[in-house]
Structure 1
Amino acid sequence: MENMELLLVVSLLFTGALANEFDNSACENANMEPVALDPNRATGRPPYNVTVNAGQYSAGGSVIVTLQGTEPFIGFMILALPESNASGSAIGSFQVANGWQEELVEPICVGRGATHTSELSQVPTFSLALKWSAPSILAGNIVFYVTFVRSEGEYWTKVASRPVWDGISRLPTTRAPEKVTDPPAFSPAIRNDGCGTNKGCIEECEGQKCSFLVTWRKNGNKVDFEMFGTLFGSQGYIVLALSETPDMADASLIACTVDDARRSEVRQYYSEDGRAPYEYVEIGPINKESYDAGVQTNETANYKTMSCRFSYDNDVRDDKWKNLNDELYLIIARGEYSPPDLKEYDGNLKISPTPIQLFDTNYKSITTFKVNILIKAHACVMVIAWVLCGSIGIILGQYYKAMWTNTKTCGQKAWFAYHRALMLCAMIFTIIGFTLILIFRNGKFVLPPQLPTKAHPIIGLIAIICSLLNPVLAAFRCNPDDDKRPFFNWFHWFFGAVAHIFAIVAIFLGMLMPSAVLPEWITYVLMAFCIFHLCVQVILEIHQCCMYDKNRDRQEEYLMINKPGEGKEPKYAGRGFKCGMLIFYVIVASLFTIALVVIIAIWGTAKIPLM
């Protein structure tokens, strides 16, 4: 069977507004030329691509074809043609994949293709999903091509997707991906010289090495901005948010973006409630002709740097764009970019400590930032929960069951009463900490973009689940003499150990997150506590083994004279040593907790990669 190629074509026509008429010549020989447009095609790499949801199709089956780009388009036409003959006859048919876009599409080429309606020309879109229905007889391998039109006289024809196999013919030829290269160095480089005198700056720099730098200077009724920062991953963004409050709600956003093909540009968004995705705004105070943007890859590290310059026209204003004469907080955020959307920022917001009037020529240099109280409180309560309460509770449960067997507290054995109280406190503090971070994240479970901090929410969630399961499990425990009691003991120990270990690991990872705004050396403080805790456990384990025979004999002698729980306390061998170790452990754990909480609460600078 002859290999076939599916040709996806997008074409826009204008008659004042864009028309939705196609001459039959657009279908004949699949030339895909929009007849109502200037015959001159756009040059350069198209800002659009075509993707498919399957690498193979079946007779009578379907494939979802998605048209998308970093720029909006205002119409389309789609056909299916043989792979070996891109000028052959169209096959299959198309319909809209998403019902809410149904008014944007209509059939063409005797039902074997589809094109836009006039609705699309009035409301351009970044993405359109179409469902291609295959004929009842296999038509060979297929490939998707696209002709995109961005505006009148500006269009690209036959932009190809990857081939789709019919399952019988030879495997389709794989197209070599375009070679991606970095653009020339951004020039002139953005520097922090003159900050506070010739221009305003908000920066995180050590000398000329900066993790980010934003400068501004008044220029008539405009303000000229420069933005620079490190980016991680294949694509990302740096955004400057202007807000009357120190958060991303009701904020004007100007973003320097770079996609996975290293294309960089300045884009305008509006944030209504601080949650992504943000509303893209085509017309705003940033003129497309007034900006310059570029990206460079650091040759010795795994990150890139993004730079851009743009002018903010203060005369262009509506409810979405702030008046630069007003006092506004400057907020810097970074995150992943999935054209055309900005994904949720990584949590490391840098917020000016006070609002700034950008038209004021008494320029300021801002090097310190507002600290988010919710993040600090989350970190503090988690440290109290697991470094203090959880750790002491676990030590009591593991090594002090045989002591104070006849001493009652709140109607329970002393060790059990304190163990239960401490572990419940750890659970309550954990719930409080989890609630605080949910409030900060607007109820979303957000993963940071990079490892190892990306693991922090996942490991923390596992610790939370285990800490909640253990008291539920304990509420349904069987009697100590029951044959099934060992199963409970092992499960109870397992969930408690996992909760404690994962919680400490999550605290370690949380300290590495830039949003925590902590010094790098704080992890060594927590590491010292972990070593101390491990040493105490080893010492108590060895002591317990050494005293085992003596305590077993004494317990047997005691039970020959007294009933369990009656009479004087059995003389536990090594009692004085263990009491001393417990007091020592509680004091040291408390000191570590106080030190960590104080550092977390008062520290106000962060260390992130500089360039």
Structure 2
Amino acid sequence: MELFFYLVVVQSFSEGAPSGTCLTMFPKHDLAEKMSTTCPFTIRLSSETYTPSQEITVFIEGSAEKTFKGFQIRAHRVKGDTETIMGTFTDFPDEYLKTLSCFGELHNMLTHKDAVDKGNLTLTWKAPDVPVGDLVFTATILTTFAEFWGDEKSDVLVDTSGTANLGDLEKMHNQMHPDIDFVGTCGKTKGCVLFPRHCMGDDCLAAVSFHTHDDYVHFEMMAKAEGYVSVGFSDDKLMGDDETLSCTAQDLRVTVQRGYNPALYNDRQYTVGVVNMTTVQKDGYIYCRFARPIVMPPLVSVNYTSDPPTPITQTFDLSKDWYLFLAWGYTFADTDVMGKHIELPLVTGDRVSLSSTTVYRGSIMSKWLQAHGCLTVIAWMLLVGLGTVVARHYRQGIGAKMARGQKRWFQFHRWLVGLAAVFTSVSFILIFVKLGGWSEYVTVHAYLGIAIMAATVLQALGGLIRPSPTSKMRPVFNWLHRTLGKLTHAATAAEIYFAFQVPLFPDAMRKFGFIVFLVWVVTQLFWEIVMEIRSRQSKKSSAADYEVSYNVKIEEKSAEKTNRVANVILLLYILNITGITVAGLCAILLF
């Protein structure tokens, strides 16, 4: 039997690697990948064989001039249950090393406790009290923040007992032609969560189906992703304190993983108990199938403030209803280590019963984020656009008629842009209050949003203090008001463009949003050009009619004809821009 030791250099925590890296042993330093060159350090063992409770000396050796700052090392089986960490570290240089108690087992992993340069190390490891099979030591070694070697292994440590228990971890399968069907089963024999809202199954960007049988919940998942797809079970709609089940695929390296989200990150847990595991990557999608017991051994973390450290357990019973999360993303090169998902995860709108055959939907955006986007789209695609053309091109005709002491065009303009200002203000306040900070992904969009809010306030104040029609400053005010309005409208177009380019959104949403944006800009410019041409022709026609005839009836008929044409153009514009606004809302609400 064979036992391997793994040495892994992990996140460059000056006080040692966090306990959440017990299985991944992978530092996520600014997305740094592990080195592909030969590791300058080796793991040597004092013996080629072992018996229960035997102590083995482990040597970490390198050239005299080469040192490292951080590392992790553990032992596990070569075959069978290769996840469970074996044995304990009993002696080591404790001035700059310390043990971790992974999954409640004391001192079963070793890591650094400071950032001091380290050279050759001599460690003592004690084998389990019972035969567990051949083992190997695995390590990660980190020399700088961005330079590390992972999956470095010792020679096999052979179990000579001949009576070893290899554990119950089920083998993964890589099925080249998945027969996962969402169209024919969702809502009929299985419950499903489908994304986006308008998809029906095979055309979805991400989906998970589930049904219960023989004390197991059977899952099938798929997502358009380059590395993994993951489902989470949560008591609320916020990430943190959730169990996850994830499928990873990178070439022929496939896994199903169980994990726990303590906060905005994932700690990998033991998968023992999950069965019927199949994962495949095909045509840019990841497909997988597995079954999880309805009640499974609890997730284990460790309280290091107690002496000795004590385990903390949490149980996720799938007979209860949970909010489901769906997330997808990348894995680091040549590993099954999941990176932080860039795109926002799907969250179901309601709690999900995993024993039902209901088709559930959800959104990647919370209600307040959807409200922020919808208010902006309605305000600037519809209300400001309409308010602008009314003020510019419809001061004559029906717009020139008086109502309550003011011309109708002015009343329409004031109410439209006033409502737009209210929508903009609410949208601005929502995003700042709810987001609670500045996001690295939306910097340009956010800067434009602040500028637009400031311009909106200036426009509103200008409307309150505008000079009288007889004032010498009135022409100056009109020019400034119109110019600032146009510039703000253009800035909002840029803001909406950058909003739909935020990498937090899936590619399909960004493409749909860009198409809507492009159609809106072209349509707005087209109709403003049409209205400008009509206005100028109308003025020329009115002047010509006045020169050739003093007949009032002829002038009235000409004006009526001009107004009818203008009204038809306005109606077509309203229908056109309303349709585009609805499309903009769909780009937000369907995802």
Q: 1:88 is matched with which residue?
A: 64
Identify the match of residue 155 of structure 1 among 113, 125, 137.
137
Q: Secondary structure at the match of 1:117?
A: strand
Q: Secondary structure at the match of 1:287?
A: coil
Q: Secondary structure at the match of 2:225?
A: strand
Aligned-partner residue type, residue 72 of structure 1: C
Aligned-partner residue type, residue 344 of structure 2: D
Q: CA separation of 1:259/1:282 partners in 2, compared to 1, >3 Å: closer, same or farther?
A: same
> Does the aligned pair in 2 maintain the 1:148–1:157 contact within 8 Å?
no
> Does the aligned pair in 1 maintain the 2:16–2:112 contact within 8 Å?
yes
> Does the aligned pair in 2 maintain the 1:50–1:67 contact within 8 Å?
yes
Identify the match of residue 502 of structure 1 among 485, 494, 497.
494
**Alpha-carbon RMSD:** 6.4
Q: 2:96 is matched with which residue?
A: 115
> Does the aligned pair in 2 maintain the 1:229–1:238 contact within 8 Å?
yes
Aligned-partner residue type, residue 190 of structure 2: G
Q: CA separation of 1:297/1:392 partners in 2, compared to 1, >3 Å: closer, same or farther?
A: same
**1:340 positional shift:** 6.3
Alignment of 1:21-170 (within 5 A): 41-42=4-5, 48-49=8-9, 71-72=21-22, 86-88=62-64, 115-118=96-99, 131=115, 154-156=136-138, 159=141
Identical positions, percent: 15
Q: CA separation of 1:208/1:539 partners in 2, compared to 1, >3 Å: closer, same or farther?
A: closer
Distance 1:262 1:444 in 2: 41
> Does the aligned pair in 1 maintain the 2:295–2:317 contact within 8 Å?
yes
Q: How many residues align?
A: 468
**1:390 positional shift:** 0.7
Distance 2:457 2:485 in 1: 12
Q: 1:422 is matched with which residue?
A: 416
Identify the match of residue 181 of structure 2 among 188, 192, 198.
192
Q: 2:352 is matched with which residue?
A: 355
Aligned-partner residue type, residue 426 of structure 2: I
Aligned-partner residue type, residue 424 of structure 1: G
Alignment of 1:107-506 (within 5 A): 115-118=96-99, 131=115, 154-156=136-138, 159=141, 185-186=174-175, 189-192=178-181, 195=185, 200-202=190-192, 204=194, 211-232=205-226, 235=227, 237-243=228-234, 247-248=237-238, 252-256=242-246, 258=248, 264-270=254-260, 277-278=264-265, 280=267, 282=269, 286-287=271-272, 290=275, 292=277, 294=279, 296=281, 298=283, 303-316=284-297, 320-335=314-329, 342-343=340-341, 346-349=344-347, 355-358=352-355, 364=357, 366-367=358-359, 369-370=361-362, 377-378=371-372, 380-399=374-393, 418-434=412-428, 443=436, 458-459=444-445, 462-463=448-449, 465-472=451-458, 475=461, 481=472, 488=480, 492-493=484-485, 495-502=487-494, 505=497
Q: 1:26 is matched with which residue?
A: none
> Does the aligned pair in 2 maintain the 1:386–1:426 contact within 8 Å?
yes
Identify the match of residue 536 of structure 1 among 517, 527, 534.
527
Larger CA deviation: 405-414 vs 248-257: 405-414
**1:280 positional shift:** 2.9
Provide structure 1 residue ranges, at least 5 long, that are not aligned to the other structure. 1-38, 53-62, 96-107, 134-142, 166-173, 448-453, 554-570
> Does the aligned pair in 2 maintain the 1:250–1:271 contact within 8 Å?
yes
Describe the superposition over 1:392-432 as per-residue Cα deviations: whole angstroms up to 9, x where unpaired.
12224444679999988898887556434422321221333
Aligned-partner residue type, residue 87 of structure 1: S
Provide structure 2 residue ranges, at least 5 long, that are not aligned to the other structure. 27-38, 42-60, 72-91, 128-134, 153-171, 300-312, 545-554
> Does the aligned pair in 2 maintain the 1:256–1:306 contact within 8 Å?
no
**1:346 positional shift:** 1.6
**1:391 positional shift:** 0.3
Describe the superposition over 1:167-192 as per-residue Cα deviations: whole angstroms up to 9, x where unpaired.
xxxxxxx99xx9xxxx9943573512
Distance 2:124 2:542 in 1: 86
**1:386 positional shift:** 2.1
Q: CA separation of 1:373/1:71 partners in 2, compared to 1, >3 Å: closer, same or farther?
A: closer
**1:499 positional shift:** 3.4
Q: CA separation of 1:258/1:404 partners in 2, compared to 1, >3 Å: closer, same or farther?
A: same
Aligned-partner residue type, residue 311 of structure 1: R
Distance 1:126 1:494 in 2: 64
Distance 2:490 2:107 in 1: 53
Aligned-partner residue type, residue 472 of structure 1: L
Q: CA separation of 1:316/1:492 partners in 2, compared to 1, >3 Å: closer, same or farther?
A: same
Distance 1:396 1:197 in 2: 49
